[in-house]
Copies of this chain bind each other. A is one copy, B any other.
Amino acid sequence: MLLKRARKALIMPESWNIKILEPKLQRPVPSDIQISRSQKPKRIQELAKEIGIHEEELELYGQKKAKITLDVLKRLQGQKDGKYIVVTAITPTPLGEGKSTTTMGLAQALCGHLGKNTFACVRQPSQGPIFGIKGGAAGGGYAQVIPMEEFNLHLTGDIHAITAANNLLAAAIDARMFHEGTQADDALFNRLVPKDKSGKRRLSAIQQRRLGRLGIKVPEDANDLSPEDRARFARLDIDPETIVWNRVIDTNDRFLRKITIGQAATEKGHVRDTQFVISVGSELMAILGLCMNLKDMHDRIGKIVIANDKKGNPVTADDVGVTGALTVLMKDTVRPNLMQTLEGTPVFVHAGPFANIATGASSIIADKIALKLVGEHGYVVTEAGFGADIGMEKFFNIKCRYSGLKPSAVVLVATIRALKMHGGGPNVSPGAPLAHEYLNENVGLVTKGCETNMKKQIENATKFGVPVVVCVNRFSSDTDAEIEVVKAKAKEYGAVGVMSDHWASGGKGAMDLAKAVIETCEKPANFKFLYSESDDLVTKMEKICKEIYGGDGIELSDMAKKKIEIYTKQGFGHLPICMAKTQYSLSHDAKLKGAPTGFKLPIRDVWASVGAGFIYPLAGDIMTMPGLGTRPCYFDMDIDPETEIIDGLF
């Protein structure tokens, strides 16, 4: 009996007994916030129970969101994983292709309408842009995460914890340089390693690790160190020109893009130019996305390189002494956040790293837990940021490399609008009215778009050995003829093409997509990486440029060459590449649509996130701090103090 109960808990049932919420479809489709508000979510503990999460693995944050402890992974280690589906897109227009919407729609269809255990995994959005231009929400229409306010504001505080941890390290760096700059070797050492009651100077664990890295034997009493060793230990000797660790804030604050700090009299003239970036740009967010558990997070934090010393050696967060403190601040972030779709199916919202200077994908931990919870016959639908040339490439080459997970299918989202643009249609820009071509049938432009960008992006997925479903994310202006072309072309290029109407009809509208995904997951997949760890950094960049972008190769600036040399010498040449490039073209030039060729990819600089575990070359200017326009959407925002209903969020 005991054995039977234990077995029951350790293996997931083939099919969840889950209550599906039916959306009340209205025409015309109301605003996202209206739809979100019109659906009463299940209590999150109810959903957790339905999908086999035990009560002691659940940490409630109010009634509508919860954190899940990693004990689930231990409990279900004998459970086989479900199918792993990544949602990506063709090269998008600035209005977006609807990847999140499709992720939700597909999960709603698979789980709510076809009875398959299904999890959707998405990123937590940055709070900053919510108050700038209208933005936020995972999905939209009848395919979204609810409640939308909870999803967009604070969630369970993960980004706030990252902000706090990031800024503690930043404060520690400047304070350390200040104290090194104002104290002689002996005074500095004696303060860093104060005498205990017995008169001995004992090194803390993190100080012992630094001594170890310096190749100095750890003495019982640090008084016994030679004056030279004391100085080597006590002086990080950071070269201020090489500091790469910035402060972060989860607010669109353009005036913090470049600042001078340390100008109070108390800092005695130790001024320095630096910047704030938006919190989701922190390397700590990238670490949260790629780590396997709390221990791995701890180890990766310790390895963060914050600068070089004046001799050119890397200085790490562990050298600064904050590895433990940062992990303490981030300890709860490691647990994925459970929410639900509009139809009451489960969603993990976890981590939200930038898609240019980082991977742009939600966390490995959430995907792993979800794959166990859905069980062998279930599905996990996870989203990769930007177009397939960036988000999917990084998903495969970085995220899957670290996780060891093998994807079963790619969903390539396309809008007729984007296909027309790639086919030669006029410019599409936010705020401006759409040109005639986009509002009326134009099979020619669609065909041309399929033959260029879509074809190339299907090829890109195929290079990794993963089968592709092309999903036309339906707009009301799309015509049957236009959609048929996409389906036919998708087939011609070895993929399956379907139309999906989840935005207007929820899971019911995504039935064809869901069926196509189920069939495609049965096809043989032969997942492989594009490059090997042992390829040198230049080779990796060349492969990405030639194989994925369709370019003729890379062009390194002198700075980029120098940085590659330094990183290689420092032992970071084995790391995968995380290209920071525009999402609006397969090339580095946002204006080049379709499938451009004959270009060289200019790499103007190369940076490293050693803790997260990748090198990121900059192919163009990357904006890491958004701003506020003349009339940000906060002018429309308010809350009813009685009902607490929020207006103007969308």
Contact status B204-A254, CB under 8 Å:
no
Which of B153, B167, B331, B627 is the one whose CB lies under 8 Å from A253? B167
Nearest Cβ in chain B — how far from A148, in angstroms? 12
Chain B residue with the shortest CB-CB distance to A297 = B641
CB neighbours (8 Å) of A293 from chain B are 641
A155 and B203 CA atoms in complex are apart in Å by: 31
A638 an interface residue at 8 Å Cβ cutoff?
A: yes
Is A639's CB under 8 angstroms from B131's CB? no
Cα–Cα distance between A294 and B642 once the two chains are bound (Å): 8
| Chain A residue total in the interface (Cβ 8 A) | 91
Does A295 lie at the interface of the complex (its beta carbon under 8 Å from any beta carbon of B)?
A: yes
Q: How many copies of this chain does the complex contain?
A: 2
**CB-based contact A175/B254 at 8 Å:** yes
- A254 near B266: Cβ-Cβ < 8 Å: yes
A260 touches B257 (CB 8 A): no
Q: Are B250 and A634 in contact (CB under 8 A)?
A: no
Contact B648 A324, beta carbon cutoff 8 Å: yes
A192 in the interface (beta carbon within 8 A): yes
- With a cutoff of 8 Å between Cβ atoms, the chain B residues found around residue A131 in the complex are 168, 325
Inter-chain contacts of A260 with B (CB < 8 A): 259-260, 263
**Which residues of B sit under 8 angstroms from A322, Cβ to Cβ?**
634
Q: Does A96 contact B (CB under 8 A)?
A: no
Interface bits A154-180 vs B (CB < 8 Å: 1, else 0): 100100110110011011101100110
Is A244's beta carbon under 8 Å from chain B? no
Stretch at the interface among A55-63, A114-122, A482-490: A55-63
Q: How far is the CA of A647 from the CA of B264 in the complex (A)?
A: 34
Near B by CB (< 8 A), chain A positions 245-282 give 247, 249-264, 266-267, 270, 272-273, 275
Output the nearest chain B residue to A253 by Cβ-Cβ distance. B171
Instruction: Check if A153 sits within 8 Å of B329, measured CB to CB.
Output: yes
Check if A447 is an interface residue, CB within 8 A of chain B.
no
Q: Does A560 contact B (CB under 8 A)?
A: no
State whether the Cβ of A20 lies closer than 8 Å to any Cβ in chain B: no
Q: How far, in angstroms, from A636 to B328 measured CA to CA in the complex? A: 12
Alpha-carbon separation in the docked complex, A259 to B247 (Å): 13
> B634–A325 contact, CB under 8 A?
yes
Measured between alpha carbons, how far is A10 from B154 in the docked complex, in Å?
33
**Contact of B160 with A631 in the complex, beta carbons under 8 Å:** no
Contacts of A61 in B (CB 8 A): 59-62
Determine whether the beta carbon of A263 is less than 8 Å from that of B258: yes
Cβ B327 vs Cβ A255 within 8 A:
no
Identify which of residues 556-579 in chain A touch chain B, using a CB-to-CB cut-off of 8 Å: none
CB distance B207 to A635 under 8 Å? yes
Tell whether, in the assembled complex, residue B172 and residue A204 are in contact, meaning their CB atoms are under 8 Å apart.
no
A504 to B191 alpha-carbon distance, docked (Å): 32
Q: Which 7 A-B pairs have the closest CB atoms?
A: A324-B638, A295-B641, A160-B160, A325-B634, A257-B264, A171-B253, A258-B264
